[in-house]
Amino acid sequence: MMKSGMDLISIHDLSAGDVEEILALAADLKVRQKAGIPHPLLAGKTLGMIFEKSSTRTRVSFEVGMYQLGGRALFLSSRDLQLGRGEPIADTARVLSRYLDGIMIRTYGHERIEELARWADVPVINALSDLLHPCQALTDLLTIREHKGRLAGLKMAYVGDGNNMTHSLMYAAAKVGMHFAAATPAGYEPNEKVVQNARADASETGASVTLTHDPKEAVRDADVVVTDTWASMGQEEEHDARTAVFRPYQVNPELLAAADARAVVMHCLPAYRNEEITADVFESFANVIFDEAENRLHVQKAIMALVMGG
């Protein structure tokens, strides 16, 4: 059982039971929200949202989520905080802990989230770092279960950069017994320590973690195919060079022919048509992709309710 006050920094830190608890509560909160049933589980509580890296879905989903849970959210950009003027993270953490019931942070270096959590006396939620994106990966699990009816035993294939999405999806799949295969270009492989951790988790659930440079090998017989932008925020200057390297890793009809005939395609957005995914494939699976986007709201509400409310 997840405990009130705990942080959510990495899916690797969670037990399989924790992951299931998040998904079950998210599904329940989604039903309640769709039915118009109030669920003020965090009435009177306040979440501070630190954004050193901007985002459409992250800001809106967390802010609306806190409102639906009966609490309030404060948007804090780096321009609004002394962090942007060089105040130590430890000092910011200790001050915010006196005012807030929880802190969400979306930033660049993962070590900034770890230091914030080390010094804060309230729960810290990782809304994205350069290493991990746990809220999105948990969201993807909920979406897969909605469309496939189960998680254990399925195969997830990720095609593209060995980035924060690759890492968190690898952790997520391992925790729920899904087989995971990632295809990345040489020189863009996932973090080796993350791979080791994920394989250790997978050994406990009967799952597997496979790495390859061949996208068709990764996608072969996959139930779920996932991709992400080739140049993430902060990598804009590398766009043209990355496009040349990643072109063979585009999710297109030819690549999907290697997947299971009933496979679904997912993308965490924003999507750049005819780069990492062709426009026709995107539109063919738009219902899944936008369910995925919506589910950020429900999963993050579940996380906040569990760590901030108990």
- Which residues belong to the annotated binding site for L-ornithine? 164, 228, 232-233
CA-angle at 57, arms to 187 and 79, nearest 5°: 85
Catalytic residues: 106, 133, 136, 228, 268, 296
- Which residues belong to the annotated binding site for carbamoyl phosphate? 55-58, 82, 106, 133-136, 268-269, 296
- Which residues belong to the annotated binding site? 55-58, 82, 106, 133-136, 164, 228, 232-233, 268-269, 296
Residues with Cβ within 8 Å of 28's Cβ and at least 6 positions away in sequence, in order, are none
